[in-house]
Structure 1
């Protein structure tokens, strides 16, 4: 399908063509017919899943755990992926009908066809990083709520544009940093906020390092089932190759090629930085205002994101957050680090480390500490039981219905993602940079300030 202009008129035009051609969206049958708990359609959130790769399908299974949600559309420029996703959801719903048949999940190549549907209430956006913000903004303009995967944008400008669109259009936004929906992590941040480790003296954030790409990456014919121009979207045109666009093997370039991402300094670091920002937002700390450090870029190969980094991010009160990759962290003596993705708060009376998989504390008695009713409590998002993924998605669906701000709101997502971008920029320019949190811009360095923006292909500007 030929891609239309990047405008709301394009969405409405799609809907008009369907009507003129006598084509309508798949009929949403009553919940009683689906056998999903008798929830009437008016009380159910209809979701479109945008991108059908491995992570998208692993996470979107959560929408089949409740009768208050129904996946009515899937979307991916890879035909094979979207058809497989369609089959997955239809098989699930068919199993819950007396007839044993169901064909009400539509499959699209173009996300704008999903957004043009009046019956779609919300979308889960799990695309490559360079599509996160453009689709978030398009969804907001189309009146859809969204759960957007981390990291947020591929530039600071994109992050700020996403926040403006979400708030302007009154949308419910959930950020895909699901550690906020774990009981242990929430309790750990509450302990820090309520002074159980004393005054915070230093923070360490560790993330997996990025990787070098293949030196030899031959150009290949575009697969017949891929709309490659749509896959590229706002990114610069580049020839199709395995490492660039196919996951696995020499692939995963979508995480490590600067046209599509800024590497694990954002992709994996989004998790521990989000935990720190959760604390900072509730402690009145804002975000760091100066960034200074070193890093390493690949000297050859297709991938060109920062591989290793060690950046001191300093808050306005002088507190330092040391942000580094896991290979650099191995040379340090950081309390509590058990895996390659963690945030450690060092206080005058102890420390707490929120790892990806667990929480470490010292003194050990902190594990039995109770947060009193009159102390600081963070929002909970543990609907449906479980940890991480399920409550994060299910609580978002609940917020879509109640219009309450989810635990991973847009403001906090923007701040934590900007920390990644500022750290990346300071490594690339090789000097200290200063962030003005009021004007939301880099000050005193025109070169660094220009790096807040990305050039995009004609027609895709946000």
Structure 2
């Protein structure tokens, strides 16, 4: 019998491809040695979800260490558009076909929020690493189960809160970490408010749209354009319908909350609250039914207080001079303050800003870009800049706000058990039902 070793087979395939003029793309998993991939291998990435957030996947083909080999979306026109932009890679309507491919090393999940965790969990079981757009899950239970499965299968997970790869954000947080603003006893987080409205007018499902696959684990619902087809618009129903998301409190709030969590996880202080008390507005008319406005007070062990608001409330209340603009994270210390956001940063004095060039011994990881950092982690097997543990913690903050508003109660949080205590209704809201046959397997 003419047998060929795995190494020999891969080598002959590579030589044959070179002789025929084919690009020499070998999956990183095929060349892995001792837990790390060969420096000459590329990470083969599959894009799952081809809506507005998927445009960032073009970065994979610009980075010399990765390439997109497949795209997937239940809307044929969307996936074909991305396919053309990504040099004619394979396209699929069903993500399970993508996960079955042995040559796919990693997936970039850019679906609507209600699919983030189910696909992440199935990807982990299939041996794929994953980049998941924010927010994480649509329930606290989903967050916790995704973490358990990703850990069990030893997969790399990068959260799509890209501010951790922005230099001025890192520099500003390092000022707070190294004591340049004194002891931090107060923090503020704010993000763009949500949207109300949305028409319930039924329209025929487009011929190229597998609507049932798009719904997936969400409840059965009649098709209408505002529910899921306004891709690229902030008023897209996928952000503001509670069956698919918890609204901009997480969809946008994940970004400034993640910046707060980056500090919390590195400051040597308790990194989760003991209580959350929130008030807010939920539309009662129209299709959209997630929070449009919110104002939440968090208390942490040790005395840290954090206020998390929508931007309209934040700029109207103006609780501190550093609260300004549509989104941001503000750290208030005994000797000064620093505010960071996607577009820039502010400090209480110019002298404080100058210290950012050499802030001290506490340094945060330097990332050239969120996607590039993820690819590097797939190859090195070292944790990326925004790992799943941190993502779960910051996402829980958003869920506590949503649940507090919906119950009208102050919530007590047991971080050791990772559960709400003393409120049975609120505990029940930590979970979501899933439409059969979809389910979250522990």
TM-score normalised by L of structure 1: 0.86
Quote the residue 1:356 is aligned against.
342
Match of 2:193 in 1: 209
The 3 A distance-change label for structure 1 pair 47 and 39 is closer
Q: Does the C-alpha gap of structure 1 residues 29 and 154 become closer, same or farther in structure 2, counting only changes over 3 Å?
A: farther
Q: Which runs of 5+ in 2 are unaligned?
A: 1-15, 32-40
Cα distance in 1 for partners of 2:158, 2:103 equals 20
When structure 1 is superposed on structure 2, of 152-161 and 39-48 the one drifting more is 39-48
Determine which of 81, 84, 89 is the counterpart of 1:84.
81
2:266 paired with 1:268? no
The CA deviation at 1:381 is 1.0
Equivalent position of 2:38 in the other structure? none
What CA deviation, in whole Å up to 9, does each residue of 1:392-437 have, x standing for no partner?
A: 1011101100000001000000000000001110111111001100
> How far apart are residue 318 of structure 1 and its match?
2.0
1:341 CA displacement: 1.2
Q: Quote the residue 2:8 is aligned against.
A: none
CA offsets per residue over residues 312-337 of structure 1, 9 Å max, x none? Answer: 01101121100110111112223333
For 2:366, the equivalent position in structure 1 comes to: 380
CA separation in 1, counterparts of 2:339 and 2:126?
A: 41
Shift of 1:279: 0.4
Which stretch has the larger CA shift, 249-258 or 45-54?
Answer: 249-258
Aligned to 2:377: 399
When the two structures are aligned, how many residues end up with a matched partner? 412
Corresponding residue for 2:353? 367
Contact 1:242 1:251 in 2 (8 A): no
Q: Please state if 1:50 is matched with 2:48.
A: yes
Q: Which residue of 2 aligns with 1:280?
A: 264
Question: What SS does the corresponding residue of 1:201 show, helix, strand or coil?
Answer: strand
Matched, 1:461 2:439: yes
1:250 to 1:273, Cα distance in 2 relative to 1, 3 A = closer
Counterpart CA distance in 1 for 2:338 and 2:166 is 15
> Are the equivalent residues in 1 in contact too, given 2:104–2:128 (CA < 8 A)?
yes
Q: Which residue of 2 aligns with 1:243?
A: 226
Residues 1:332 and 2:317 aligned together:
yes
Name 1:6's counterpart in structure 2: none
C-alpha separation in 1, matches of 2:125 and 2:389: 18
| Structure 1 pair 30–435 and aligned structure 2 pair: CA distance change class (3 A) | farther
Task: State the match for 1:152 in structure 2.
Answer: 136
Q: Secondary structure at the match of 2:265?
A: helix
What residue is the counterpart of 1:13 in the other structure?
none
| Alignment equivalent of 2:239, drawn from 255, 280, 290 | 255
Query: In 1, are the aligned partners of 2:169 and 2:342 still within 8 Å (CA)?
Result: no
Shift in alpha-carbon separation, 1:204–1:113, aligned structure 2, 3 A:
same
1:165 matched residue in structure 2: 149
Structure 1 Cα separation of the partners of residues 393 and 19 of structure 2: 40
Does the 8 Å contact 1:47/1:124 carry over to 2? yes
Checking the alignment, whether the CA contact within 8 Å between 2:239 and 2:251 is kept in structure 1 is yes
- 1:25 aligns to what? none
Match of 1:193 in 2: 177
1:306 Cα deviation after fit? 1.1
- C-alpha displacement of 1:112: 0.6
Separation in 2, partners of 1:432, 1:31: 68
CA distance in 2, matches of 1:54, 1:31: 39
How many Å separate the matches in 1 of 2:86 and 2:215? 27
Query: What is the match of residue 308 of structure 2?
Result: 323
Partner SS, residue 282 of structure 1: coil
Task: Specify which of 152, 162, 165 is matched with residue 181 of structure 1.
Answer: 165
Out of 60, 73, 78, the position equivalent to 2:57 is: 60
* 2:7 alignment partner in structure 1: none
Which residue does 1:19 correspond to in 2? none
- 1:16 is matched with which residue? none
Any conservation in 1 of the 2:60–2:371 contact (CA below 8 Å)? Answer: yes
Q: What is the aligned partner in structure 2 of residue 345 from structure 1?
A: 331
Q: Is it true that 1:230 corresponds to 2:213 in the alignment? A: yes
Counterparts of 1:402 and 1:376, CA distance in 2: 23
Distance (whole Å) between structure 2 residues aligned to residue 450 and residue 315 of structure 1: 23
Cα distance per residue 1:229-271 (max 9 Å; x no partner)? 1000010000000110111579500000000000000000000
Aligned mates of 2:142, 2:60 — CA distance in 1: 28
Cα 1:309/1:266, change in 2 over 3 Å = same
